[in-house]
Structure formats: C-alpha cells, structure tokens
Structure 1
Amino acid sequence: MRTAVPKRKYRRRVPVSGAGMVKCEEEEKPVTAPSLRYMTGSECLVNLTELNPYILCSICKGYFVDATTITECLHTFCKSCIVKHFYYSNRCPKCNVVVHQTQPLYNIRLDRQLQDIVYKLVVNLEEREKKQMCDFYSERGLEIPKPTVPQPNITNRGRPRKLLGPVFRIPPELDVSLLLEFIGAQEGTGSYKPLEKKFVRVSGEATIGHVEKFLRRKMELTAMCQVDIICGDHLLEHYQTLREILSAIGKSAVQDGLLVLHFGLVLSPLSFT
C-alpha cells in the first residue's frame, strides 16, 4: 500500500503592479517527508529596491534597456548610454579600465538574458519602452525598425549556434583615424586641460578647423590661445580636409593606419593688440 505524499508550498516570484515590490505566490508541489520542516506560511513581499544595484544603469540611473555588457570588465549599461559615452571616452564609466584604444564599441555585447530578467521584474517596462520607440518614429514619419534576431549558424554536428557580433558598427563614412600628439605650449598661453583621448575616428571630409574646435572643447582653451596643427613638416590650414591631407602628403603622414597630427599651443595675435 502506497503512502500518500504530502504537498509542499513553494514560492514563485511575480511582479506586483504599481507597488515596486516582487510578490511570492504560493503553489503546491509534492515533496518528501523530510522536507516538511521547510514549509512556509503565507505569502511574502520582496522590495524591488533590494535588486536595484543589479538592474540599474549607473549612467542614466534607470532600469536597463537593451542591456549591454563591456567584454573587458563585464560591467553592464543601457546600450544607448554606453554608446554615447564612448563618443567621448574609451574607458569604462564604472571602473575606468581602457576598453579599446581606438574602437571601444567593438568590445560591447548585448546581454539578452539579463534584459529578459529586468523586463520580468519591472512591471510594464518592456511595454512602455516599445510604445515610446513607436511614438518616436511615428512622430517623425520614419519606419519603425524591426527587432533583430540572432541568425543560427549550423555547426558540423548539426546543432544551431548563435552568432555573437558587435552591437555597434562604425559607419563607413568615418573613414579616417587620427592620432593627435601634443608637442607643447608657449609660455603665457595659460592653463589648459590635458587631452585624455588622442585617438579619434572622423570623416575624411572633416577639416583642420573641425579638429581645432574638438581640441579647444576638450582642453578648455581660451580665445587668447591659438592651436597650430602640423602634419610632418607642413603647418596645416583650417580649410584643408583630412582626405586632401592624406592625398597630398601620402604614406609619410600615416603610422599604423593612423593619420598623425601634431599640435601645439601658442599665443593668439589678438593677445598682442
């Protein structure tokens, strides 16, 4: 004669609408007799704020949307947040490690599993994000992009394998990589902020004037300070494009695939008037 197996109540987490809490619903499941001492009472609530350190982006302080992880240090951010950050820096915003000298966007990957967890924990987050995206494209008369699905790759054993690729690809129009080398400042030019990022990828149609504006903003230069930019033995003019410089000077201006520009700070003629 078979002995009846008692049933144990176990807790399953489900989000509670509008409460900022995670509810533990109870369901019955057969267990063996020794496990009866682990039976729990009525349902309990877990505060969602206890999980926030693991599902919040440290840049925007919001819940992950398109969770994206840096492969060098495994820190995760929203995709749009980390892509914007890498326009100005090649370091992780959390631990400051150098992600890549010239192309940090190549070293980030979507974390779909973590994003699924966030969508299950935070009520209506996925629906709100989809609605905002649809409204954004509809207001501008643009076609709503379809979600990308990883294409399986058939291996020798016949099992599908997901292809992992970079989240962001450099547009082909950004075809020139620069190495900006600082050669010094003339006495009296005042204080300036050191240039943290000397590797830059830009369009070949950009001019030396654009490069000077970039240096002025990053180094916080005053109007009394003039920036002289040199390639090889040539002092460059503001109107010259980078593509013209490459064509005119040739391979002597290129080092390891980078167009090398030296720049120095001198007193502006305005300071003598």
Structure 2
Amino acid sequence: MATQRKHLVKDFNPYITCYICKGYLIKPTTVTECLHTFCKTCIVQHFEDSNDCPRCGNQVHETNPLEMLRLDNTLEEIIFKLVPGLREHEVSKVDKSKADEEGDENQDDKDYHRSDPQIAICLDCLRNHGQSGDNVVKGLMKKFIRCSTRVTVGTIKKFLSLKLKLPSSYEFCCLELFSLASLLSGWHFVSVLPDGIAVSTKN
C-alpha cells in the first residue's frame, strides 16, 4: 500500500502568494484577461499607473482595467485553511483599522470648535444696582471672552449668570445685554454684533 505524501504550506506558495507584494494573497483578485491573481489592494494600486498585467505584461484594458478584476472567494477560503492564523490576523487588522477611523472621527468632533469661526467680544458693566441701590453682582475680572460666531446672546446671558454667580432670588430675566444702546434679543448671533457688549441689571 502506497503511503500518502504530506505536503507543506511552502509547496503551495507559488499558487497562494502575490506576485507584487510576495505575501500571501489577501482578498485574491483575478485579472479575467490573463487569469493572473494578486492581492486586491496590490493590483488596484498597480492599475492606478498602468493598464498592463504586472506578471505577463499584457494589456488588460485600454482605459479602465479595473473592469477586468474579479474577486476569488473560493481561493481566499483555501488560503485561510492552508495558512494557520492568517484569517485571525486579517480580522484583527480590519478591527484595528475601524477603531482608528472611529478614533479619528471622535477627535474631529472634539476639535470641531477650532474650525468654527471665532470672535472676541468685550463685556462691560453698564448698570449694576438692585432696588436697594447696592451692587447686585461683582464685575468680571476679565472683560474679554472668545467664542464661536454661532453663539447666541441667550447663551452669553446664561454664561454670565453662571460666571457672576447670581443669587437664586435674582431673576435671570433681569440681566440685559446692550450693543450700541440697542437691547439685544436672546436669538441674536454674536457674529452680527460689534465687539463691545454692555451688561445691565434692572432696578
């Protein structure tokens, strides 16, 4: 009885490695014109600069060689079975790539305000007396603030209310903002205002 010969993975290397990168075929993609197979990424990058097959030199297509590519899912499964750990390695690479992309997106969200147009405005106290004539709030230590042009006057009022630590008995509606002697509505955007805003409290 004849004994069966055991084959090593390297015996199949000519059939499961990429001619371009010399590594195992990842997402094996066949050129239908000449039936040569390469990694999908490798052959797509090659066709960015050439219309010829990198192995045999034959022209694949006059204008769009990408039309002549076909994925070989069967060969991919064979390679994964022949090479231990290759599937897991590729899955890990994909997961890491997705995590990096999500991290970049989150970073973009955090840095969004940096690309938003900014404006510097000066907040000055115009009137600061309650019914008893005493000062209701203390003046701001820093009169200048920098904010987005999309910020509304209403948001500035909320900021001042927190920054000045207004007492709970002091109604928020008593805080008014003026620009060039005009009372500002809460829906005004600071982008349409001059640089100076006066803060007033009602008696």
Q: TM-score, normalised by structure 1?
A: 0.36
Pick the structure with more helix per residue.
Answer: 2
Higher relative contact order (CA 8 A, sep 6+): 2
Q: TM-score, normalised by structure 2?
A: 0.49
Structure of larger gyration radius: 2
Pick the structure with more strand per residue.
Answer: 1
